[in-house]
Amino acid sequence: MKIITTIIVLAFFLIGSSNAITNPRMNVQIKDNTVETLIMGLNSDNIGLKSGSAYMIGELKLKQATIPLLRVLHNEKNEELRIAAALALYKIGSPVAIYAVRQAIKFDESERVSKLCASFYSNYLKNKFYGEEINVDVSKTALK
């Protein structure tokens, strides 16, 4: 049953619809159906599908999925899913998403989730104040 559900969701993901959103950073067209399918995946009972959907939402930086990711971060019992949601929110990078990651540092019941959220937030601050290019050069220099 789980395999059939996964195949159906992936089929919807691949087929898409004619309406599309363009992600300027990646030069990829993201179809409305793709967004809807990924959000449906977040609402699934299948842990792997939920985690994979959160990962893809983060990679595609889909701001439309911020609220469903917030629900996962706040209400999910599984630590790994909360971490996946926090990472996706960090990658989206909107003020609401970053604020949620910051709040999870203080209020999440799991020390592991809190520490990873602190790491995500720390990276966000580094990139915000120093820029990605400078960060990469500094890390390369520090490793030598």
pLDDT (mean) for 59-83: 97
Structural domain of residue 12, as residue ranges?
2-143
Domains of the chain: total: 1
H-helix segments, 2-143:
2-15, 32-42, 47-60, 66-75, 79-92, 95-107, 111-130, 132-143
pLDDT tens by residue, 10-54: 455 545 443 445 444 556 688 889 999 999 999 999 999 999 999
The pLDDT value recorded for residue 128 is 87
CATH of the domain at 35: 1.25.10.10
User: DSSP of 65-106, one letter per residue?
Assistant: GHHHHHHHHHH---HHHHHHHHHHHHHH--HHHHHHHHHHHH
The pLDDT value recorded for residue 8 is 55
